[in-house]
Every structure is written in structure tokens, then in C-alpha cells.
């Protein structure tokens, strides 16, 4: 009997040692002490017009991982970035995500570019209770009733549109022209612009163009005939160039205000032969940009992020493309505040403005989420206006550090 008791005691002690080695996770379940915090990300290097955006999003995410891991990781767990080579193709992204979940569910997921990818993966992420940080904003992922674990990162279209109002007042514009594409975001931008500007007392005329077209002169002619004082336009990639060349072709001398999509387009901030910088097509153009896109030697968090990113790879376009860096820092701050890597606890923490204000983010100083909205309610002065210039390391006026 004593021998049997001794064997049971030995087995119990061994079991205790195994559990101790595995550790008890902050989520209430057993996990290995060195188990990484896995973040899956839509990635690739051949995504057509959003290739530059996708590559920069990946560089910024890697820099965020390095920054967080150097500070101890996510509640002591080192972050592992898992790339989905889907090239912003929603079908491929969904297939890769399902395959990964079948093997082992990631702790979080990031979309750095491609709203169609966001729409495809959002339901499966919600179903599997995976934290979702979405730089390619869609309305569904801003609604915590639909997607309680999803958070949009970019400024909402409303914040972007509201940013024009002080500029209109300062320049004395009375009649506003709006030129926008027919993508989901571009349509939203156009509708919001028209409603917001009219509500503010401006005379407004809006024209939509086909984003797949190679010539927009017919639509531009229609807008010119309405004789607006200024034209606000939305475009990303090649369409931005077609719009600008169309205006030049028609000889229309009108002030142009490009939205954040235009300012994120490398074509606008690179010199010929690859870009339009310095050409007559840009002579009347002013860009709406995030404050982080304009170099400021006193902006410590932004400059730290730029240094981290450029040590890894190239920043194509502006800092608008680097929201994945902030996503990683927000995840770490949420886990620290919650004392847990449970996704629901982290989501709750992100709804606290003190958590996002203290995360050390670089693109926006804070991400004001709430229990009612997972879209950052950024202040109107988040954006400013600047003349086109060479964007080096994601910034206008960069010293090239």
C-alpha cells in the first residue's frame, strides 16, 4: 500500500511540474510560457494598384512587431507575424485564413490594404472570435454590434471630409466641385462630401467617374461647365494621374484639393519618369494629409516609427499606408491594460481612450474608440493641407533619416 501511495505521489508531483512548465495563461487556460502571440496579416507583393500600399503595410507591421517585442511582447508573449500571401485577393485571403484556423487559430488579424479583403474575412474572424485590426475600413467593422472584436484604423470618411471645411473658409470658396470614383469607398466619400458641404452652406456639384477608365475628360468637362471655385477629388493609384492629366488636357485652371487617397499615391510624390512631381499636372494641387505625413522633429513617436520601418524596408507612399504599425502597438496596449490576451477583454480595453492615448502610436496620436463605435473619432485637426513634394520615408520635408 505504501509503495502504491508513493507511486501516486510521484505521478502527482510530475503532473504538477508539467503544468508549471506549461504555465497558466492570463486567459484562464493552460499555455506554454513561450507561446508566441500570432498575428496573421493579408500580404503579398503583386497586388496590382495596391501593391505599394500592401508592401508598406507589411513593412510597418514588421516594425510594429519589432518595437513591441523589444518592449517585452504582448503580456510577455513575443509577437509572431504570419503573412498570408494573398495579394489582396479576397478569395485567397479567406482561403488562407480558413486553412490557418484549421491548423491553429491566430490571436489577431490585420488587413493593411484592400476593403474587399476586409469584407471577406470579417465574418469568419467574428465567428472564430479573433481580434481584427482593419486599415482598409469598411462600415461593418466599425459597428461593435456586428463585429465586437473588429476595429477600423484609418480616419473615417467623415473625418476626412470635415477636414475640408476650414480650408474652404480660409480660401473664401463658395461653390465646391466634387470628383470621385465608383469604388465603395469613393462613392461613400462622394456622398458624404456632397451632404456635408451642402449642410455647411456651400453650393455643390458632384460628378462620378469610372475608376477602371483610362480617360476621365468627359466627366471633367461636365464638372468644368458647372464652374466651381475649387475641386475636391478622390483617387488612388493610376486614376489619380488620369484625373490630373485630364484637367491639364482641357486647360482648366482650377484649384484642386486631393483627398488622403491622392496623397497616399506614390505617383503624386515621385518625379518623372515614374511620377508626376514637378509636372504642370500638379501645379494647382494641394493635398490633404495626416499630420504624421509632414515631418516634425518634435514628433517623437512618429520619428521612432519611421526609424523602425526604414530599418526593415521601404515606405512607399505616405504615412497613411503605415497604420499596421499602430495596430500592433494598440494590441499590446490593450493586452497590458486588460491583463489578458483574451480577445473580448482586449476589445473592451481598446474602448478606453486612456489605453489608446498611451499606446505610443505614430500615425495618429490616439484612436478614440467607444463601446458604440469602433471607428476612431479623430478630431478635425488630424489632417492638414500641403503642396505636393517628394515624400521620403513616408513624409513631406523628411531629412531622409
Q: How many structural domains are present in the chain?
A: 2
Residue 208 shares a structural domain with residue 263: yes
- Shared-domain flag, residues 338 and 214: no
Q: What is the CATH number of the domain that holds 66?
A: 3.40.50.2300
Domain shared by 350 and 337, yes or no: yes
Q: Are 110 and 41 in contact (CB under 8 A)?
A: yes
Round to whole Å and give the CA distance between 66 and 63.
Answer: 5
- The domain in which residue 271 lies consists of 158-295+385-396
pLDDT (0 to 100) of residue 115: 86
State whether 107 and 200 are in the same domain: no
- DSSP classification of residue 154: S
Query: What pLDDT is stored for residue 33 in this prediction?
Result: 53
In a domain, 23, yes or no: no
Report the SS3 class of residue 317.
coil
Residue 259 lies in a domain: yes
Mean pLDDT by 10 residues, the chain (401 residues): 42 33 37 80 88 91 98 97 95 97 98 92 98 93 97 91 94 97 87 97 96 93 97 92 95 95 86 90 94 94 96 89 96 97 98 96 95 92 89 87 49
At 17 the pLDDT is 32
Q: Which alpha helices (DSSP H) does 148-237 contain, by range?
A: 157-162, 164-171, 184-199, 217-225
Q: Is residue 165 part of a domain?
A: yes
Amino acid at each position: 500500500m505504501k509503495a502504491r501511495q508513493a507511486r501516486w505521489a510521484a505521478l502527482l508531483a510530475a503532473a504538477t511540474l508539467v503544468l508549471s512548465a506549461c504555465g497558466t495563461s492570463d486567459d484562464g487556460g493552460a499555455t506554454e510560457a513561450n507561446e508566441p502571440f500570432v498575428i496573421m496579416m493579408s500580404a503579398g507583393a503583386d497586388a496590382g494598384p495596391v501593391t505599394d500600399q500592401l508592401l508598406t503595410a507589411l513593412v510597418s507591421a514588421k516594425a510594429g512587431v519589432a518595437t513591441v517585442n523589444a518592449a517585452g511582447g504582448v503580456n510577455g508573449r513575443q509577437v509572431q507575424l504570419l503573412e498570408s500571401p494573398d495579394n489582396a485577393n479576397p478569395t485567397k485571403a479567406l482561403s488562407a485564413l480558413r486553412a490557418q484556423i484549421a491548423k491553429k487559430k491566430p490571436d489577431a488579424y490585420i488587413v493593411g490594404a484592400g476593403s474587399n479583403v476586409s469584407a471577406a474575412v470579417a465574418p469568419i474572424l467574428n465567428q472564430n472570435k479573433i481580434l481584427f485590426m482593419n486599415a482598409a475600413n469598411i462600415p461593418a467593422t466599425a459597428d461593435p454590434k456586428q463585429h465586437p472584436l473588429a476595429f477600423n484604423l484609418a480616419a473615417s470618411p467623415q473625418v476626412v471630409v470635415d477636414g475640408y471645411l476650414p480650408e474652404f473658409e480660409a480660401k473664401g470658396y463658395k461653390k465646391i466641385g466634387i470628383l470621385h470614383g465608383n469604388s465603395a469607398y469613393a462613392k461613400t466619400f462622394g456622398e458624404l462630401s456632397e451632404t456635408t458641404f451642402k449642410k455647411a452652406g456651400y453650393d455643390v456639384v458632384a460628378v462620378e467617374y469610372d475608376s477602371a477608365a483610362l480617360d476621365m475628360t468627359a466627366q471633367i468637362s461636365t464638372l468644368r461647365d458647372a464652374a466651381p471655385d475649387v475641386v475636391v477629388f478622390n483617387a488612388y493609384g493610376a486614376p489619380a494621374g488620369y484625373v490630373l492629366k485630364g484637367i491639364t488636357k482641357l486647360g482648366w485652371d482650377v484649384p484642386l484639393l486631393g483627398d488622403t487617397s491622392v496623397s497616399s499615391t506614390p505617383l503624386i510624390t515621385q518625379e518623372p519618369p515614374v511620377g508626376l512631381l514637378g509636372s504642370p499636372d500638379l501645379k494647382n494641387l494641394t493635398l490633404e494629409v495626416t499630420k504624421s505625413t509632414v515631418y516634425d522633429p518634435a514628433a517623437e513617436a512618429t520619428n521612432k516609427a519611421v526609424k523602425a520601418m526604414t530599418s526593415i524596408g521601404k515606405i512607399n507612399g505616405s504615412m497613411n499606408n503605415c497604420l499596421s504599425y499602430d495596430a500592433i502597438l494598440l494590441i499590446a496596449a490593450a493586452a497590458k491594460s486588460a491583463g489578458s490576451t483574451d480577445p473580448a477583454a482586449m476589445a473592451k480595453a481598446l474602448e478606453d481612450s486612456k489605453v489608446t492615448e498611451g499606446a505610443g502610436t505614430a500615425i495618429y496620436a490616439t484612436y478614440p474608440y467607444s463601446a458604440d463605435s469602433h471607428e476612431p473619432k479623430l478630431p478635425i485637426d488630424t489632417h492638414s493641407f500641403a503642396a505636393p513634394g517628394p515624400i521620403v520615408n513616408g513624409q513631406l520635408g523628411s531629412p531622409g533619416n
